[in-house]
Amino acid sequence: MDCYRRVIGELRNGGKICSSDHVKNPFEAVFGVSGSGKTTFLNQQVQQLVLAKIPVLVFNYNNCMNREQMPLEFKAWYEENVQVYHVGSGIPLNLMDQSLYGKMPEHKREDIMLDQLTDILGSAYSLPITQLAELRSAIKGVYETGAYLTTGISSIGDFLREAECQAAKSVYMKMRPLLELNALVAGEISFDKPIIEFDLNGVDMKSPFVIAKILIAHFYLRAKAGQFAKTKLALVIDEAQHFDFSTGVFYEMMTEARKADMILLFATAESPFKKSLVNLQQCSTKLYFQPSKDARKVAKLISEYDISYWTTALKGLKVGEFVAVGDFCVESGKPLRGTKILRTSKDSYVSAVNSDRPRRNEKVTTLGTNSEKGVKLC
């Protein structure tokens, strides 16, 4: 995979450790308790992706992109480089674009589109088979009449209410907050700025994650159709525990997104052993910040041969320190094998981002180092 080499962290001597250009996939899974340093790491990755001229999608739910909690320098840079789409204003999305489903007869593309939307929405609301059938019928009606183009996703609710069966009415009542919000409307996302933030705050507890699922699936399909072949596309998915990577389009994305020129960054405070998160172990790069519990089990994921050592190491991690598992390199590109204990820089890449993109072997510098000492940094 020919992706831009990014700094993952640094050694005690300040030497930068980078992601390798030759990993199986450019996906990173970040685990650790709240306050362990995951957000700082993600912010630095976003800055480097922008430096590499790669568009970045950020999903803001539970106020995880709270401007008041951002370092001032990063906040100023972020606000200059982000285009925000607020869910309350309707996010423009060509939701039923058949061109995303490949070169096949129209009726087959329609069936795939209907099945996928039904699966995403149905799984979010745990709909039984009879209700899934009614939901699919409503989505089909919306597509055939072009109602989405004029009314948005709320048009699904119109068809559900008009159906003369209890199953359809039950689906409507379950989905009512999402449909009345009309969070998705006809239109296109602008990539005039390098960061696209979907602000999904201020609504009921379930809808933000349903909308995020639809958005993620939509942009995966766009990438799969080759729309980001020249630039690549990065998705930053914090609070990944709200998504199930063991089934449906999310399972497919974990195995196929590399071929679609996508870079995926996941972060969660939940245990990596949660069933819906197990497939994140497919990420070529795994970073373990302070674990909330199960340190010994996490240590076994790191190495089955040095469980006691890594258990002690995990328990001794300080804020900003993490165990990095994967294939890495130094800044010159020389491979660096083995698991490392690294730390993030306390400062940002703002200065680097505001300059021209460096050549492949040119050094990328940060503005300082983390002076805190924790476990021994290898």
Q: In this structure, what CATH number is given to the domain that contains residue 86?
A: 3.40.50.300
Choosing from 154, 185, 216, the residue where a domain stops is 185
What is the four-CA torsion angle of 171, 176, 179, 180, rounded to 10 degrees? 160
Could you give the CA distance from residue 95 to residue 184 in angstroms, rounded to a whole number? 8
Residue 230's SS3 state is coil
Residues 310 and 236 reside in one and the same domain: yes
Q: Is the dihedral of CA 332, 369, 323, 270 positive or negative?
A: negative
Could you give the CA distance from residue 108 to residue 124 in angstroms, rounded to a whole number? 24
Residues 141 and 248 reside in one and the same domain: no
Residues 286 and 346 reside in one and the same domain: yes
Strands (E), the chain: 7-10, 16-19, 27-31, 56-60, 82-86, 91-92, 184-185, 195-199, 233-237, 262-268, 285-288, 321-325, 328-330, 335-336, 340-343
Could you give the CA distance from residue 310 to residue 316 in angstroms, rounded to a whole number? 10
Could you give the CA distance from residue 26 to residue 251 in angstroms, rounded to a whole number? 16
Residue-level pLDDT at 108:
86
Q: Which domain holds residue 128?
A: 94-185
Residues 36 and 109 reside in one and the same domain: no
The letter for the amino acid at 320 is G
Residue 372 inside a domain? The answer is: no
> Which residues, in sequence order, are CB contacts of 20 under 8 Å at separation 6+?
5, 326, 327, 328, 329, 335
Residue-level pLDDT at 190:
95
Residue 220 inside a domain? The answer is: no
Residue-level pLDDT at 346:
56
Residue 301 inside a domain? The answer is: yes
Residue 376 inside a domain? The answer is: no
Residue 65 inside a domain? The answer is: yes
Residue 161 inside a domain? The answer is: yes
pTM, to two decimals:
0.87
Which residue ranges of the chain lie beneath pLDDT 50? 1-2, 347, 351-378
φ and ψ at residue 237, rounded to 5 degrees: -115, 95
Give the number of domains in the chain.
2
Residue-level pLDDT at 350:
54
Residue 356's SS3 state is coil
Residues 16 and 76 reside in one and the same domain: yes
Instruction: Go through 6-23 and write b for each residue having 16 or more CB atoms within 10 A of its CB, e for each that does not.
Output: bbbbbbeeeebbbbbbeb
| Pairing mode of beta strands 328-330, 335-336 | antiparallel
Residues 16 and 106 reside in one and the same domain: no
Residues 194 and 54 reside in one and the same domain: yes
Q: Is the dihedral of CA 246, 31, 210, 139 positive or negative?
A: negative
Residues 124 and 265 reside in one and the same domain: no
Phi-psi region of 370 (alpha: psi -120 to 50; beta: other; left: phi over 0): beta
Residues 194 and 331 reside in one and the same domain: yes
Residue-level pLDDT at 138:
97
Residue 208 inside a domain? The answer is: no
Residue 309's SS3 state is helix
Residue 377 inside a domain? The answer is: no
Choosing from 127, 153, 185, the residue where a domain stops is 185
Tokens of 301: 């994921």
Residue-level pLDDT at 295:
94
The β-bridge partners of 186 are none
**Is residue 260 within 8 Å of residue 241, measured between CB atoms?**
no
Residue-level pLDDT at 372:
32
Residue-level pLDDT at 229:
94
Could you give the CA distance from residue 250 to residue 238 in angstroms, rounded to a whole number? 15
Residues 111 and 33 reside in one and the same domain: no
Residues 37 and 116 reside in one and the same domain: no
**Is residue 289 within 8 Å of residue 31, measured between CB atoms?**
yes
Residues 196 and 302 reside in one and the same domain: yes
Look at residues 224, 209, 193, 213 and name the one whose alpha carbon lies nearest to residue 93.
213
